[in-house]
Amino acid sequence: MLKHRTRALRPGTIEIPVSGAQVTPMDTEQLYRWIGAAWEARRKALLLGHNLHSLYLWEVAPAFRALYRRADVVLADGFPVLKLARWSSGRDLSAKRHRLGTLDWLPGLLHRTPVRRVAVVGASPESNAGTVARLRADDPARSVEGWPGAGWDAELEDRVVAELRAYRPDFVIVGLGMPLQEEFLARRWAQLPPAVYAAAGGAIDQYSGTQAMPPRWLGPLGLEWAYRLATQPRRLAHRYLVEPWLLARLLAVKALRGRPATALPD
């Protein structure tokens, strides 16, 4: 087995061999408890997820990698990532419980956590409004506000940051797509108000119903990618058919050189 240095890991965190990326597999109940604890502490916290696309960006984009190293929790969002984590750690990780994407925890956010003020940032005006409406319907006593991400530029970013500071949310769902959402969070982290920030990719479109949502039973089988590819081939063909091979090549080169990901310059 390839020997590589391992950074000091937080409890429950697993390092992916060769890559050096870290994940913290959780089930929904564990995640809700973590969100509740972060809310009670009134601290700024970052919730991300790793799939093959993010692992590829981890390898090629230093700023992206730096943000992931800052994250408080990185869920195993992709089936291959969960398999790698299970192989690396020897832990009993279940695809049904521990492969956790945004659509797995978002429906219970207002029922299972104490957050009172939720901000939804990103997606088209239609998708953003649809997700805000669904969340408001879950618990009308809580506040949910939305900021669409269509036409995202420096001016819109400044306005969103200023209005988030005025709104003072407890939880912020950032769905600008990868890696734009990570670039935004990295660039404006110091100016953003205390809250839990969750990078959500395209989940706002799917949760609102404007984009077809993969059947949830496909997740534990590792086949959600096939559904997404079939429904959005032009947008996702490179991500699902090309990037995995590029990632495999990058990791193979590292393995042959015997260099851990942590030795890569940032």
Handedness of CA 84, 85, 91, 94 (dihedral sign): negative
Q: Is 6 in contact with 15 (CB distance < 8 Å)?
A: yes
Distance of alpha carbon 155 from alpha carbon 149, whole angstroms = 12
Enter the pTM of the model: 0.87
Give the pLDDT band (50/70/90) at residue 227: low
pLDDT digits (tens, 9 = 90+) for 51-91: 999 999 999 999 999 999 999 999 999 888 999 999 989 99
pLDDT digits (tens, 9 = 90+) for 104-138: 999 999 999 999 999 999 999 999 999 999 999 99
Alpha-helical segments (H) within the chain: 28-41, 52-60, 62-70, 79-89, 95-98, 102-105, 109-112, 125-138, 154-167, 180-188, 203-208, 224-231, 233-237, 243-257
Q: Of 178, 164, 161, 194, whose CA–CA distance to 72 is shortest?
A: 194
pLDDT at 262 (0 to 100): 42
**What is the overall mean pLDDT for the chain?**
88
Out of 211-215, 221-225, 230-234, which region has the weakest mean confidence (pLDDT)?
A: 221-225
pLDDT digits (tens, 9 = 90+) for 21-50: 999 999 999 999 999 999 999 999 999 999
pLDDT digits (tens, 9 = 90+) for 148-201: 999 999 999 999 999 999 999 999 999 999 999 999 999 999 999 999 999 999
Count Cβ atoms within 10 A of the Cβ of residue 85 and give its class: 0-12 exposed, 13-18 middle, 19 or more buried.
buried
Distance of alpha carbon 251 from alpha carbon 238, whole angstroms = 18
